Amino acid sequence: MTSFAHHLKTIIYPETRKDNTVEEYFGTKVNDPYRWLEDDRSAETAAWVKAENKVTNAYLEQIPFRKQLKERLEKLWNYEKIGAPFIEGDFTYYFKNNGLQNHSVLYRKDVQGNETVFLDPNTFSKDGTTSLGEFAFSKDGSKMAYSISEGGSDWRKVIIMDALSRKILEDTLVDIKFSGLSWKGNEGFYYSSYEKPEGSELSAKTDQHKLYFHKLGTPQKEDKIIFGESQKRRYVGGAVTEDDRYLVITAATSTYGNELYIQDLSKADSPIVTVVADFNSDNTVIDNEGTKLLIVTDRDAPNKRIVTVDASNPKPENWKNLIPETTQVLEPTTCSGYIFAHYMKDAVSVVKQYDYSGKLVHEIQLPGLGTADGFSGKKKDKKVYYTFTNYITPGTIIALEPNSGESVIYQKSKAEFKSEEYESNQVFYTSKDGTRIPMLITHKKGLKLDGKNPTILYGYGGFNISLTPTFSIANAVWMENGGILAIPNLRGGGEYGKEWHDAGTKMQKQNVFDDFIAAAEYLIAEKYTSSDFLALRGGSNGGLLVGAVMTQRPDLAKVALPAVGVLDMLRYHTFTAGAGWAYDYGTAQDSEAMFEYLKAYSPLHNIKKGVSYPATMITTGDHDDRVVPAHSFKFAAELQSKQSGNNPVLIRIDVKAGHGAGKSVAATIQENVDIQAFTLFNMGFNSLPK
């Protein structure tokens, strides 16, 4: 290993214009010299993106092993992948990818077993930037509606087809965002959207969501607004129960807490009835038996429970426990007339099968410690499918016979990965305030604890989202090259229920950063790695995590990899759906104390001149309309202007790409190659480690 700083060309960053924009909060003036980069449609911003990408590409091109890394990643990625089957009408459908196809193809088999391509998203665009979003079949399987996303945007178009002949039935519906699709018989379907905003559709604020009904054969402009016209809600969803009896409506103003409504579709013009009238709990109808509703809720049960109530009088005071709350978080699904209660024990799956009277039928015997997903389908399904995976087990599809509880492997992964050569161990470490945090550390067997192993510490810590063990080809290649993957379950996530989530929100947000810092310190103390061989990685809310930790502890890691991050905490809520994140973050408008708290950790506002920050590669997409790229643009400009020392500060901007959903395989592989090449190169490697 040699020091390579001397033979690197000095990076000359693009000149980024500063202006004198100042915003005042509670009497405090805050400079925002790069605010012009928020205008994603200006020619000046486009020129800046191009100039930054040119510098980044020139840097990445000089990494000697980048091509070798790409060949390996492509080779390992190139195996046939098949999804779990599902039945619609007289056909069995499943997704299949022959290896390196940009998008998986939807196939179907008829009763004789003849296979045909049903829908191929690779034909949607030449460059793979248009992807399939949601899709839904009508109850008898004769009609299908599906949405497409162009350039990774959250704005979708919806196409309606006759599933039997595969003919497109009518004009495409446009301007649909954050929507499910749910059919009522064969007459039409429910969907949700916002009015298209004035100004940039990629960054303008969207906060009044409405539920519509589209009747087949009528133009979109005649679609009836069912909910959300008189009540202003940021997120509204509608779904029809499997028996076509009820429309269930959820409405929310933030990412946590929703109102719940039902409408009886068996009677014409029946009223919309309120079930839950406030935003203090999360509530979902998972099924019904006649007029009996089954509701999963965390109302008076932070770890969730399932209750039943009659639709004629569905208020919470009439709810009866069907499956009571336990010490572990419940996420139920239904299939074959059973309820499958998914629990997490220290971020690992436990699944129990109940009947509709609340009686335990089986505890599902999973093949090991990991993540089990699926167990959902129709009441009449004879088989229940689920996938099992962990950091060293590629996804395996298992078929369960629900009455006997017998499981058989339906589809083993074809990935060329030798699981038996790797190990994944859960440890518990102590955070700054004494909280015990679990972390899974995965690597090749026989690893030397000499402090010199390249290590990616990956975290999220927010929005009640749990990081559960799953296999990824990119991680497999990292570990094959001697790397360690360490993933802690930080506060702010959902691993231990509502209390754990709340402990990482608003004025407790620093706990999340402390948990991440303590994870790094644990890895260093136990000689897995040292600061010279440590990279911090996270995306979206995890991008905020990396940005906050690298500015609070610039000495902690050699490399920082914030992806599509929320990096300007004073202005995040002014873009797209950002205001919906206030449950987790609070906003700079809430109070002077909240403003001060946000400003104290906002990554953009805590970069100091003369500090040597880690080698940083920021990644984003120019069409990201979830976390707008302005966050990453401004952070990059600020960091480039203030960085001291030799560590590079690059921003890699995917053009015609969004927040990550629907990204093509080719784009995903290239991004992973660049991240791993940049990371290893900055840890001093001139060739791939063995």
**Residues known to be catalytic:** 540, 659
Per-residue DSSP letter, 13: P
Select from 676, 690, 682 the least CA-distant residue to 533: 682
Provide the b/e sequence for 611-639 (b: ≥16 CB within 10 Å).
eebbbbbbbbbbbbbbbbbbbbbbbbbbb
530: helix, strand or coil: coil
Measured between alpha carbons, how far is 112 from 543 in angstroms, rounded to an integer? 49
What are the tokens at 504? 């990482």
Helix ranges (DSSP H) in 643-685: 665-682
- Report CA-CA distances (Å) from 38 to 202, 545, 570: 11, 21, 14
Number of H helices, E strands in the chain: 10, 40
β-strand partners of 641: none
The answer to whether the CB of 478 falls within 8 A of the CB of 487 is no
What are the tokens at 299? 């109302």
Measured between alpha carbons, how far is 509 from 507 in angstroms, rounded to an integer? 5
Q: How many CB atoms lie within 10 A of CB 44?
A: 11
Measured between alpha carbons, how far is 389 from 13 in angstroms, rounded to an integer? 42
β-strand partners of 22: 31
574: helix, strand or coil: helix
Give, for 640, the enclosing helix (H) or strand (E).
helix 630-642
